[in-house]
Structure 1
Amino acid sequence: MISVLFAVLTSISNACAAVLQRRAASTLPDSDAMRLSLIGHLLRKRVWLAGIGLVIVAAICQGVALATGPIAVVQPIFVIELPLTLLIASYAFRTRLVLSAWMGVAAVTIGLALGLGAAAPTGGTETVQGFSWLPALVITGIFEALVIAAALRTRRNTRAALLGLAAACAYALTAALLKDAVASLEEGAGIGAFFASWQLYATGVAGVGALFLLQNALQAGSLVASQPMLTLGDALISIVYGVTLYGESVRTGWWLLPALLAVALITAGCIELARSPLASGTSPRKRRAH
């Protein structure tokens, strides 16, 4: 399927971007946390700008994926971002992954297959009907405010995890808005209708907010803290948007048991993979040299 192919391409671009952005954000002082000056400092770092370039590529691929497939199918595929990044990084650094990292790759891969097989997302509409966006945006805003407020009362890895969750929700919202925006092209309304849709500009606002929250999550603590919340949060919240806004269906009942097992496998795999020095954008050779 085209949607699956472009979802995988999105995952590769996003995962590599996250590593580059983590390398840049980790060098900034805590005094920049949750301030616009954080972005100003990052703009002067070439590594971060390279990551932003990959984010743009990922956005284009994600738009194609969402235009050709249900959001409840496309977004969960993004959990493979970290395993793919580590495999690419191990090749680039000419370093073998240790057994625990391979086990993490296997856990995420099996968990994704099990989760999608159990949920079996199907159906849905191409656009959001009526005024359904209004309650969705209000609930999302309240959720984000509560999570960010809780994050500001904590420090380091706890803050990174909470901000990772806030970023995940913002990225899921971005995907839901983008799907609604590109639907105008699918319906033959033309490029003018696409650029006239409020969803397109809301996508931009949500995307910038998600990027800001992600940089703060990466700056606040380790990748081990932020990545699982970001990865799983994006997938699960996207499924909620798919079901509630687009009328997509997922299997429930006893199918929830293998779905929960899938979540556990993906969580364990992401935590194990995020511990790898390659996930933080550093070569094991360099780490041994210090």
Structure 2
Amino acid sequence: MSAALSVLFALLAAVGNASGTVLQRIAAVTVPHGDAFSVRLVGHLLRRPAWLAGIAVIVGAAACQALALNLGSLSLVQPLLVIELPLTLLIAAAHSRRPLPAAGWAASAMVAGGLGLALAAAKPSGGHSQVPGGLWALTLVCTTGAMALCVLAALPRPRGRLRAALFGSASAIGYALTAVLMTAATDIFARDGGTAFLTAWQFYGFVAGGACALFLLANAMESGPLIASQPALTLGEALISLALGMLVYGERARTGWWLIPEAVGAVLVTWGVLILPRVDTETPRKL
């Protein structure tokens, strides 16, 4: 029952994140180019109702993600969020009143089918909640360092796909780190109650990490089209979360011959994720 509820809340989080992404994209394209990666960017976005609505939806999605992580493992919950990409394209297509073409539906089916196959074969399990301080320090240094490198590589680039992909990659690392810290914080809440939760450094860590990842995502959307930022964000977050779940919490996946369906599922997901952003959902249909 816990695993089923974890999957349900993870899917609700994916729906919320997809809706929030579309709303943020609507707001981000109106930002003056000279205000990217600055405090002025936040000021512009705060005056956009679409962005504020997107934030509200994402906060709700974060609550669903926290519940999912409390009920299930990081290695189960985070890959399920890959379904966010086809949902984002479907919602964007509905907003622009442009039907999703057959290629979009086929790629969406590949992502959903591949994800189901990979997770059923891997059957993530195990893990522990006690993480040594040294491992936390190493995790924070590696993830924040990788984010900084992506940002430093993106800043000199002109607006375009490469800049958007680099900011998307930095955001993916930030969201994966946020999920790791959120897992620890929700475990503290379940074990020790609300006071311990609000005084734990992991709580403030995942709030700061989520805010940073959100800011980087806004810059990714301002820098270029979804085709550039979404694959890096979607695949990057899932893969990094899987790696962190195994390294930090000791979670495990089945090996042996199970690696064959896992690999097939991973290929289908990757293929679908690379195809989906190429589907034009942002150009309104001419009436």
RMSD in angstroms over aligned alpha carbons? 2.0
Q: 1:273 aligns with which of 271, 276, 285?
A: 276
Which residue in the other structure is 2:172 paired with?
Answer: 168
Which residue in the other structure is 2:24 paired with?
Answer: 21
Which residue in the other structure is 1:79 paired with?
Answer: 82
In structure 2, relative to structure 1, the CA distance for the partners of 1:119 and 1:150 (3 Å cut) is farther
**Cα deviation digits, residues 34-86 of structure 1 (max 9, x gap):** 11211110100011111011111011101100100000100000010122234
**How far off is 1:94 after superposition?**
6.4
Q: 1:132 aligns with which of 123, 128, 135?
A: 135
In structure 2, relative to structure 1, the CA distance for the partners of 1:89 and 1:24 (3 Å cut) is closer
In structure 2, relative to structure 1, the CA distance for the partners of 1:193 and 1:258 (3 Å cut) is same
Distance in structure 2 (CA, Å) of the matches to 1:84 and 1:176: 24
Q: 1:104 aligns with which of 102, 107, 113?
A: 107
TM-score normalised according to structure 2 size: 0.91
- Check the 8 A contact 2:22/2:92 in 1, yes or no: no
Deviates most, 57-66 or 260-269: 260-269
* 1:229 partnered with 2:232: yes
* 1:177 partnered with 2:185: no
Which residue in the other structure is 1:10 paired with?
Answer: 13
Q: How many residues align?
A: 283
Q: 1:220 aligns with which of 219, 223, 227?
A: 223
Of all paired residues, the percent bearing the same amino acid is 48
Distance in structure 2 (CA, Å) of the matches to 1:121 and 1:46: 40
Deviates most, 172-181 or 29-38: 29-38
In structure 2, relative to structure 1, the CA distance for the partners of 1:215 and 1:89 (3 Å cut) is closer
Distance in structure 2 (CA, Å) of the matches to 1:26 and 1:87: 19
Partner amino acid, structure 2, of 1:56: V
* 1:49 partnered with 2:52: yes
| Partner SS for 1:97 | coil
Which residue in the other structure is 1:145 paired with?
Answer: 148
Partner amino acid, structure 2, of 1:222: P
Distance in structure 2 (CA, Å) of the matches to 1:230 and 1:268: 15
Q: Unaligned regions of 5+ residues in structure 1, if any?
A: none
Moved over 6 A (4+): none
**How far off is 1:115 after superposition?**
2.3
* 1:250 partnered with 2:253: yes
